């Protein structure tokens, strides 16, 4: 009650944050008589206990992600105490992450950076006159800017977070996922989608970038899942692309080198798929180009399937 009168607006924001947590777990919000907040209990970032009945586990992630079954372990440790009637696991994510399915699978609900910014703006956080909270809001805005600056920066100046923000936006239209990967060329961020599952392989499209040169490539990829020779099957699909290499304004070509790993590029677009105006990306035109490539692979798979059925 002291905080309700000392800073009413901040109290409203805090209460609303708790409401969000309860709503995500579809539990009716209670009248709060007592609340305690502890840090690093059983290695949990934050443990909030309400009325000695509700335990809120908050795992705070900025740019890292979950590992080593840590989320399931945290829940198990608190559950084994037997002290709480209801446990609310929350995965609080202020950076970008491609896929939250493993988080939900472990019983956690996700609160993202965008939700916190929206909450602060809804209640006009500046009027709280609380420097700590206002600084945190500004911090979230700066993180948000680093992911969304791909819309304003020349493509040559994109950072790793710019690429992650760009790929996160593409997911809204294309599905798929992005990831940080490493190979002989170094570490880069890629985006994969439009997966076709065939008898002996997976075919899909992947966007790749060389972070040193900022060269962006749209690749047609294969993952051999059967017993067939990897190189032979890769070459088979490359030859098929070359028979149909032009599709509208798109032209595909052989990659500089053929790989020999689990995932191999068998063809790539002959130009940058990004459409720019004065070096600034035109997002909708770029998505249009990407969807043309999607149609190309779809039609290629249909054609090969029809040939196989006729043989």
Tens digits of per-residue pLDDT, 274-293? 999 999 999 999 999 999 99
CA separation, residue 19 to residues 14, 28, 70, 253 (Å): 9, 9, 25, 54
Q: What angle do CA 210, 173, 216 make, to 5 degrees?
A: 15
pLDDT grade for 66, boundaries at 50, 70 and 90: low
pLDDT at 67: 61
Q: What angle do CA 99, 212, 234 make, to 5 degrees?
A: 65
Q: Tell me the mean pLDDT in the region 45-56.
A: 94
Q: What angle do CA 192, 198, 202 make, to 5 degrees?
A: 25
pLDDT at 210: 86
- Cα end-to-end span (Å), the chain: 78
Would you state the torsion angle of the CA atoms of residues 264, 213, 209, 279, taken in this order, to the nearest 10 degrees?
-140
pLDDT at 213: 82
pLDDT grade for 247, boundaries at 50, 70 and 90: low
| Phi/psi of residue 275, nearest 5 degrees | -95, 125
**Weakest mean pLDDT among 61-65, 175-179, 191-195:** 61-65
Q: Tell me the mean pLDDT in the region 92-121.
A: 94
Q: Tell me the mean pLDDT in the region 77-97.
A: 92
pLDDT at 117: 97
What sign results for the dihedral spanned by CA atoms 103, 104, 109, 115?
positive
Give the predicted TM-score (pTM) of the model.
0.89
Kind plus residue range of the DSSP H or E element containing 82: none
């Amino acid at each position: 009650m002291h905080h309700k009168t000392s800073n009413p607006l901040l109290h409203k924001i805090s209460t609303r944050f708790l409401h969000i947590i309860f709503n995500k777990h579809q539990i009716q919000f209670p009248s709060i008589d007592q609340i305690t907040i502890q840090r690093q209990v059983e290695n949990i970032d934050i443990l909030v206990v309400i009325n000695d009945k509700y335990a809120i586990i908050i795992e705070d992630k900025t740019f890292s992600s979950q590992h080593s079954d840590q989320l399931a372990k945290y829940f198990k440790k608190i559950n084994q105490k037997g002290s709480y009637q209801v446990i609310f696991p929350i995965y609080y994510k202020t950076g970008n992450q491609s896929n939250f399915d493993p988080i939900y699978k472990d019983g956690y609900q996700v609160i993202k950076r965008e939700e916190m910014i929206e909450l602060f703006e809804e209640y006009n956080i500046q009027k709280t006159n609380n420097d700590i909270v206002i600084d945190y809001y500004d911090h979230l805005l700066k993180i948000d800017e680093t992911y969304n600056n791909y819309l304003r920066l020349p493509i040559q100046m994109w950072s790793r977070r710019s690429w992650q923000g760009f790929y996160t936006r593409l997911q809204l239209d294309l599905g798929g996922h992005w990831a940080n990967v490493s190979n002989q060329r170094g570490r880069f961020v890629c985006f994969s989608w439009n997966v076709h599952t065939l008898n002996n392989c997976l075919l899909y499209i992947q966007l790749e970038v060389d972070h040193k040169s900022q060269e962006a490539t749209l690749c047609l990829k294969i993952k051999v899942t059967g017993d067939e020779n990897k190189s032979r099957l890769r070459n088979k699909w490359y030859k098929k692309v070359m028979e149909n290499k032009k599709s509208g304004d798109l032209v595909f070509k052989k990659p500089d080198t053929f790989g020999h790993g689990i995932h191999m590029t068998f063809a790539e677009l002959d130009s940058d798929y990004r459409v720019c105006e004065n070096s600034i990306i035109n997002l909708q035109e770029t998505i249009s180009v990407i969807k043309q490539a999607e149609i190309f692979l779809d039609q290629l798979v249909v054609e090969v399937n029809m040939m196989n059925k006729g043989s």
